[in-house]
Structure 1
Amino acid sequence: MFLRTESFKDFLRFYPVVSILITIHLVLWLLIDVLQLPFAQDLLRAGIGLNAAVGLGEYWRLITPVFLHGGLGHVVFNSFSLILFGPALEQMLGKGKFILTYLFAGFIGNLATYIFNPDSIIPHLGASGAIFGLFGVYLYMVMNKKHLIDQANSQIVMTILVIGLVMTFIRSNINILGHIGGLAGGFIIAPLVLKNVTGFSTWRNRRSRNDDEISFNPNRWKKRRFPTKKIATYVLWGGLAILVIFAVIGRFL
């Protein structure tokens, strides 16, 4: 599920929603933080999460912060997390349900931030709540739809989730309510978006007639006798190490 073997071209073609979201993250960060264009600064001021402004009727701020990031470490960490954990869900749910889940989780995260501190003038931004929402869907599968996710991937999801929750509470400048609210939002919407999903068959068996294109057959490595378990282990721990490194870097940027 989380092992990415596609080419860049195939990734864009197979996961268009994830690709578009990451592009929005990077483009907005480039315009706002790097180029610091005047109109981009206006977008930031108008879209950043600000509870006091939401209380005055600027309800769009419950969604727009999902697309904004502060600093290189922040945008890279969230985009990398989306690359790892978004594609499998996009293929399983389809484009419509995936974007609904992502935005709903982000909305619930920002709504929780507002409800528990409506007069706050401390700004907040980032896709973390929406990404935690994806983990909320995975958590629902682990707890209630075990046939949709195998034990190895369940362990990966739970390990990353625990690490993410621990980092949420020990790092400074983290919107704790946004993370927890996003996780809850994903868990809440999971029964709806997973209602007619029977498994990963369409995701695994997606094969083009072109032999050069990517295959999602889970047994494709057996013929080549590659050490699949070792590869998966290296990917898991390598991914964890990268996540931790980006998180540390993001704390000081």
Structure 2
Amino acid sequence: MFIRHERSLKEFIQSYPIVSTLVIIHLALWLVINFLQLPFGIWLYQLGEGSNYGIEQGEYWRLITPIFLHADLMHALFNSFSLVLFGPALEQMLGRTKFIIGYLFAGIFGNLGTYLVEDLFYFHIGASGAIFGLFGIYIFMVLFRKHLIDQISSQIVTTICIIGLIMTFFNPGINVSGHIFGFLGGVIIAPIVLAGANSYNPWAAMARRNRYRNDDDIQFDPNRWNKKRLPRSFTKNIGWIIFGVLVLLGLFSRLF
């Protein structure tokens, strides 16, 4: 369920447009705010960051905007990587509309919980609350909709969710309230978005997406040996290679 079967970045984007769009927003906003460091980026960060004081003053958009902002490259990549791992199966299972409703509801619920629990001058950003909401939906399936998730995926998501919740309390700088309330938001919205959902079969989904050519469609190109081309495996996966390089850059940025 969590193993990717797409053969290229293009195929992934076409198959999971909501997850792909969210990842693009994460990285684009990080680029504008943290890398370019333009005045517009600084203004955008200050306007969108989670601020309990701002919400107290009626700036209710701050319950939504922090979901898309991140402190640094590693923060953006880690949340994006988590979304790429755990989002596609739910997007395929729920459909685009229900998936984005569940994701945003969990994120807003996490930010609302942060506002209610933390002090007035607490600031926060990140998609972690919304991602923990995805875990909340999965755990609801594990407990109450067992027919929607296979046993191996059930064990994987349960283990990762438990580890994630435990680590929430040991890592400094984490919005604990956002993680916990985001998870609860996922559990709360799960019965609604899972209504009428079917179990996710990655092989059937891949079969629907793929179109196989037969030998009659292959034509001989007499000039093919004169064309210098990169290996197909490289050109098909160039997007994943770039994403992997960005992850490594994020890791190194944490070390130095």
TM-score category (smaller protein) = 0.7 to 0.9
Tell me by how many angstroms 1:250 deviates.
8.4
Distance 2:204 2:169 in 1: 40
Distance 1:200 1:194 in 2: 12
- Give the direction of change, closer, same or farther, for the CA distance of 1:111–1:15 in structure 2 (3 Å limit): same
- Give the direction of change, closer, same or farther, for the CA distance of 1:247–1:26 in structure 2 (3 Å limit): closer
Name the stretch that deviates more: 9-18 or 191-200. 191-200
Which consecutive residues of structure 1, in runs of 5 or more, have no partner in the other structure?
A: 213-244
Distance 1:76 1:153 in 2: 23
Q: TM-score, normalised by structure 2?
A: 0.81
Tell me by how many angstroms 1:249 deviates.
7.2
Whether the 8 Å contact between 2:77 and 2:250 is mirrored in structure 1 is no
- Give the direction of change, closer, same or farther, for the CA distance of 1:118–1:57 in structure 2 (3 Å limit): farther
**What per-residue deviation string (whole Å, max 9, x for no partner) do you get for residues 181-210 of structure 1?**
000000000000011113225x64231361
Identity of aligned residues (%): 55
Query: Which structure has the larger Rg?
Result: 2
SS at match of 1:195: coil
Whether the 8 Å contact between 1:77 and 1:246 is mirrored in structure 2 is no
Whether the 8 Å contact between 2:137 and 2:187 is mirrored in structure 1 is yes
The 5-angstrom pairing of residues 1-253 of structure 1 reads 1-6=1-6, 7-117=8-118, 119=120, 121-200=121-200, 204-206=203-205, 207-208=208-209, 210-211=211-212
Tell me by how many angstroms 1:22 deviates.
0.1
Q: TM-score, normalised by structure 1?
A: 0.82
Tell me by how many angstroms 1:117 deviates.
2.6
Tell me by how many angstroms 1:163 deviates.
1.3
| Aligned-partner residue type, residue 190 of structure 2 | A
Distance 2:132 2:173 in 1: 17
Distance 2:254 2:36 in 1: 22
Q: How many residues align?
A: 219
**What per-residue deviation string (whole Å, max 9, x for no partner) do you get for residues 90-123 of structure 1?**
000000000000100000000000011352x131
**What per-residue deviation string (whole Å, max 9, x for no partner) do you get for residues 9-34 of structure 1?**
11000000000000000000011111
**What per-residue deviation string (whole Å, max 9, x for no partner) do you get for residues 41-85 of structure 1?**
111000000001100000000010000000121111100000000
Whether the 8 Å contact between 1:2 and 1:84 is mirrored in structure 2 is yes
